[in-house]
Structure 1
Amino acid sequence: MDLNLSPWALTFLSAAIAMTVAWLIFFSSAAIVQRGTAHSKPASAVAQAARKPAGIMLPLLALQFVLRGAPDDLAHIALVRQATTIVLIASFTWLLMRMARGFGQAIVMAHRTDASDNLMARRIQTQTQVVTRLAVSGIGLIGFSLALMTIPDVRQIGTSLLASAGVVGIAAGLAARPVLGNLMAGLQIAFSQPIRLDDVVIVDGEWGTIEEINSTYVVVKIWDERRLIVPLQWWIEHPFQNWTRNSANILGTVFLWLDYRMPLQPLRNAMQAVCEMSPLWDGRVCLIQVTDFSEKAMQLRCLISSGDSGKSWDLRCLIREELMVVMQRDYPDYLPRVRAEIDKPLPSTAHADAEDTLGRPPSPQQRSPTPEHGQAPPVG
């Protein structure tokens, strides 16, 4: 047997034993952690997210200790150490990224948005998602940089690039301005929160809800199932309507144009009855007001309150339908009508036919006898 293989054989044997012990420690620790976090869903989510990368990182860490203790004169030992270090950094980066996502998922699970009053939950979920994405991106960037710094040639190239970064850095900064602007807008949205997940907004005349808030853009779900993609920076630079900024409660309006003779109390009674029977009404506001006059009719505004915008839309449609039934059944003659008053009687048809457009009396030819005067009409 070649004596040069003996140190490698000893190193391989030591590495196998160390990695086996590391796996045993991992499996026993994972079982203990799983039992300890079974009662808590957030803690269980974090532990489950860290399970796979930890199962890879612990044996690699044991292998790294063995390789560091191996003789330096072994063939290719430096290359093996460097490769193991890069893989170890990658696994540790993966572990941190998975733990960050698991921690964010745990916070989201603890603050659900399926409740009726979910303002605080939506606020926390929005902050959590934005911060989690930024944290994962930062961890990945740092891990990649650390892996590159373990390679001497790359480290020297990086130092040279930093020394001559002048114009290149300015050009790169200008090229990356939209990306950096969106990242900064994401941080600003996460903490100032002009929008949150499930907020009802109107963007460029489109009514929809905030479905996703990503690192560079926001997905708005339009009411007809379309998706509107809006950059993050747009929300900072342009005005928009947020119907659920402080509360999901909202007031809805229904407008009617009716004749002045229409009594208001029957309509008020009908709308009150509809609101009281409908689960869409939150019990706060239900009234009818005269808000405008015209030469033909009066404008009535029906004001109703609901718990959210979806219920408000359905309740407004219900009010229109029920009031239309009342008008059709009980007051069909009270729709808007055109009124006119005639001061002088109109000239008779015979007199109008007897005068031409210039107001002159009829000519003798126009005064031909007719059957009304007892004479037969001329025969050609």
Structure 2
Amino acid sequence: MENVLRPVVAFAAVLVLTLLAGWLLDLLLRQADARHTETPLWGLLRRCVTPFRLVLGTALLQASHRQAGVFPAHGAAVGHVLALLMIASTAWLLVRIATAVVDSAYARYAASRPDDARVRRVRTQVTLIQRVVTAVAVVVAAAAMLLTFPAMRTVGASVLASAGVLGIVAGIAAQSSLGNLFAGLQIAFGDTVRIGDTVVVDKEWGKVEEITLTFLVVRTWDERRITMPVSYFTGKPYENWSRGGAESTGTVFFHLDHAAPVALMRDELADLLKNIPEWDGRTGSLAVTDTTPNTIVVRAVVTARNADEVWTLRCAVREQLIGWLAAHHPYAFPRVPTAEPPPPPPPPPAPAA
């Protein structure tokens, strides 16, 4: 009976201590979060309570499972499983702590900086740094777990001896993946493209929605997602409409008759821009840019705060100016002749002999 009771008591004691310690930690973090409203760090650290409980419970079981007589015939196997669980839970806890610290620093930075472009740049860097830290933690934890097996320690010397050859082979086999990895780091710290930037790639217009170490996601205006390798943005030209500022300039073209009232159109454009909220007030001009035998090309140039608003502004200007011309100056539209052309003149009479 004692052999059964001792393990049960040990498990119950570990469970109670673990839950109590987690509750106390969560209580302290909630109080700290209430006192320090200037930073979200303490609130974000509450995500670490679950891995903390797992680390604490595993440590307590590791220290007491032999004395408690938990599976005495398989004590080594139990200790090995607990060691593996300790390594995994410790890596999980460290990743959660690092993520909370980085997210807190980014939140404070974003709240204190009015420059949206700089904030998006930092957001891109923070996202990639978090992914790198997570990847490193997972790799180190997996390596530490493998080294707990005696067979892995035995072959360690031969693995190290052949590491040079394996590294060369792996580098050749994973050349594309490594290229994308370094391209991701170059994007993060070279500030060539950021999350939230408006870009044009392969004649597709959209916003950068996600950047990882290997691929980049562009959300198009019609809600499609284009996934591209990050090496594309380091090896090929593309348009970044948010580079150097989000302000954007748009053009609207009209093909009109030569008799179109260009001066009146210019005045009407100035009046209607005042009532369009997307216009930022920087530029609103109209000029004749080309002529053909039958029409003239009139171009309106307008500006807005970003690419989304300049698209809406262009559509509004096109719609309202065409409506104004149709209502007040219908003669301004190109006319297509529909009558049959007159017959050619008869040939001159032949001279008399």
* One-letter code aligned to 1:316: R
Cα separation, 2, equivalents of 1:29 and 1:337: 80
Distance 1:322 1:153, change over 3 A: same
Contact 1:19–1:60 at 8 Å: present in 2 too? no
| Structure 2 partner of 1:287 | 285
- Greater radius of gyration (CA): 1
| Residue 24 (str. 1) matches residue 20 (str. 2) | yes
| Structure 1 partner of 2:268 | 270
* One-letter code aligned to 2:159: L
- 1:220 counterpart SS class: strand
| Structure 1 partner of 2:171 | 173
Cα separation, 1, equivalents of 2:130 and 2:200: 27
| Structure 1 partner of 2:183 | 185
* 1:61-84 deviation per Cα after TM superposition (whole angstroms, max 9, x unaligned): 23333469899xx75443333222
Which of 44, 53, 56 does residue 55 from structure 1 map onto? 53
- 2:195 counterpart SS class: coil
| Structure 2 partner of 1:314 | 312
Query: How far is 1:30 from its partner?
Result: 2.4
| Structure 2 partner of 1:150 | 148
| Residue 36 (str. 1) matches residue 32 (str. 2) | yes
Contact 1:20–1:59 at 8 Å: present in 2 too? no
Larger deviation, residues 175-184 vs 57-66: 57-66
Query: How far is 1:108 from its partner?
Result: 5.6
* One-letter code aligned to 2:215: Y
Distance 1:287 1:227, change over 3 A: same
* 1:50-106 deviation per Cα after TM superposition (whole angstroms, max 9, x unaligned): 0110011112223333469899xx754433332222111111011122233334444
TM normalised by structure 2 equals: 0.84
Which of 241, 244, 256 does residue 243 from structure 1 map onto? 241
Distance 1:324 1:17, change over 3 A: closer
- 2:59 counterpart SS class: helix
* 1:119-158 deviation per Cα after TM superposition (whole angstroms, max 9, x unaligned): 2322222111111111111111111111111222112223
* 1:149-208 deviation per Cα after TM superposition (whole angstroms, max 9, x unaligned): 122211222332222334433222211222222221111111112111121110000111
Cα separation, 1, equivalents of 2:182 and 2:79: 39
| Structure 2 partner of 1:90 | 88
Cα separation, 1, equivalents of 2:46 and 2:351: 105
Contact 1:26–1:58 at 8 Å: present in 2 too? no
Give the alignment of 1:106-185 within 5 angstroms: 106-107=104-105, 109-110=107-108, 118-185=116-183
Larger deviation, residues 280-289 vs 179-188: 179-188
Contact 2:25–2:49 at 8 Å: present in 1 too? no
The runs of 5 or more residues in structure 1 that have no matched partner are: 340-344, 362-380
The runs of 5 or more residues in structure 2 that have no matched partner are: 338-342
- 2:217 counterpart SS class: strand
Contact 1:218–1:231 at 8 Å: present in 2 too? yes
Query: How far is 1:23 from its partner?
Result: 4.2
Cα separation, 1, equivalents of 2:145 and 2:209: 36
| Structure 1 partner of 2:44 | 46
Distance 1:66 1:253, change over 3 A: same
- 2:261 counterpart SS class: coil
Q: Identity over the aligned pairs, expressed in percent?
A: 33
Provide the alpha-carbon RMSD of the alignment: 3.4
Contact 2:29–2:46 at 8 Å: present in 1 too? no
Contact 1:23–1:58 at 8 Å: present in 2 too? no
Cα separation, 2, equivalents of 1:165 and 1:333: 81
How many residue pairs get matched? Answer: 342
Contact 2:207–2:219 at 8 Å: present in 1 too? yes
Cα separation, 2, equivalents of 1:69 and 1:182: 52
Contact 1:107–1:125 at 8 Å: present in 2 too? no
